Structure 1
């Protein structure tokens, strides 16, 4: 699902993307300047290798996600730190954002139930 950022207004634009076992559901809303707010929930199961035994397992996920998408390069002189994803073509690819969030979860340290209980 691709969204043209200049069409996002103060009225929230709902989205829902589903993959095999995960749902990414939320909305996009104009914030200020070039910034679009994305608020969503990531819910389901993510396939992950255990960081102890390397066996594959399904990690339950229920994460609230909030960040900004910048329509172009984000430049801000203030000291406020924001989570900003830059879109250089004026389009937000929701499926690509979902895949990025899944990869962030996979990169964290996780162990399967068997390894958790054996320690």
Structure 2
């Protein structure tokens, strides 16, 4: 994940521990582990805020929140478990739709955050 995260979050990538925290948070979200992603996201936000001087939410911290909220997932484990409990023959039949929706939501979120950053700065 580091090459992609370095492009998306260049300030955070300058600190190895912060980049590792971001990677862990994004990885947990990719695997659909929401309960694990939340404490990792809080720790990551604290590290990013300390890195920016603590004066408020930096642009990269806002972008991380957008990425977490948009919910990029490769394996929607919770939805698959619910589908299996309700008797779905193939609980993971929804994967292509989840991947498409995830990619669209994260892409739109990143574009909106980057666009608003430019509008806000000018």
With the length of structure 2 as denominator, give the TM-score of the two structures.
Answer: 0.28
The structure carrying a bigger helix percent of its residues is 2
Which of 1 and 2 has greater Rg? 1
The structure carrying a bigger strand percent of its residues is 1
With the length of structure 1 as denominator, give the TM-score of the two structures.
Answer: 0.28
